Amino acid sequence: MFRSSQFSRLSLGIAAIGALAITGFVAAPSLAAEDAVVIPAPAMDAPASDGVQTVVLSGGCFWGVQGVFQHTAGVVNAVSGYAGGNKSTAQYDTVSTGTTGHAESVQVKYDPKKISYGKLLQIFFSVAHDPTQLNRQGPDSGTQYRSAIWTSTPEQKKVTDAYIAQLNAAKVYSKPIVTKVGPLEGFYPAEAYHQDYLTLHPNQPYIAYNDLPKVENLKKIFAENYIEKPTLVSGAKLTD
C-alpha cells in the first residue's frame, strides 16, 4: 500500500511516462539519462585518512540519492533516513508533512583511501541532485526535500564551504547553490521498505523516470567511480 507521498511520486511518474508515450517514445526503465551538469573537481579536498568516514547528504527523495551512492566505488554503505529534526518525529508519515525539520537524507559511509570526500561532493552536486532548487527537487516540494550537507568533521565543513564558493564563483549553474551546510547532530535510518528502493523496484514509474537516469549519469560522467553491482543495505535478492 502506498502512503500519501509515495502515491504522489507514483502518480507523477505515471503522468510523465504517459506524456512520453503520447509523443511516440517508449516508456521503460531504460529511459535515456536526463542531462547532468558536468562540474570541475574541488580545488580543495580532504586528506586520505585511515578508517571509514561518514557524511549525510540531503538532495530530494532519498531513493535516488541512495541509489547513486550505492553504485559508487569506495562507498561502504549508503542508508536512507532522516536528518535535521528530532528522533521522535523521524518517521516517514510525519516527515512527509514538512513540519518536523527533517530532510530525507542518505548517510554515506566511505573509505577515503578509495574515494575522496571531494569526489563524493562532486558526484552529489553533478548527478545526484540539483543544488539550486530551494526546498524542492524535481517533482517533490517541501522542506523535507531540501538540499543539505551534514558534516561530521571540521575538515569536511571546510572542504564543502570552499567547493560551494568555487562552483558559485565559476557560475557553473544558472542560479546560485542553495545547499545548506552544517554539523551532523543526528541521523535516523528510514523504514526498511525505503532501503535499496531503486535497486529493488526499477520498474516503479517514479524510479524509472526520475532516479535511474541519475545512476546512468554516474556511469557516464564518473565511469572510474562507478560499480555495476550496488552495495545494498539489506542484502536482499534483486527483483525485476
* Whether 61 is catalytic: yes
The CATH code that applies to domain 36-204 is: 3.30.1060.10
**174-192: pLDDT as tens digits:** 999 999 999 999 999 999 9
- CB of 112 within 8 A of CB of 49? yes
Task: Catalytic residue, from 31, 36, 55, 61: name it.
Answer: 61
**How many whole angstroms separate alpha carbon 198 and alpha carbon 43?**
32
Please report, for the chain, the start and end positions of each structural domain, with discontinuous segments joined by +.
36-204
E-assigned strand segments in the chain: 53-59, 75-83, 103-110, 136-137, 140-141, 147-151, 180-183, 187-189
- Non-local CB neighbours of 212 within 8 Å, separated by 6+ positions: 29, 30, 31, 33, 67, 198, 202
**212-236: pLDDT as tens digits:** 999 999 999 999 999 999 999 975 4
Output DSSP code: residue 83.
Answer: E
Task: Note the pTM of the prediction, 2 decimals.
Answer: 0.87
User: Which grid cell is 231?
Assistant: 552495495
Check whether 154 has a pLDDT greater than 50. yes
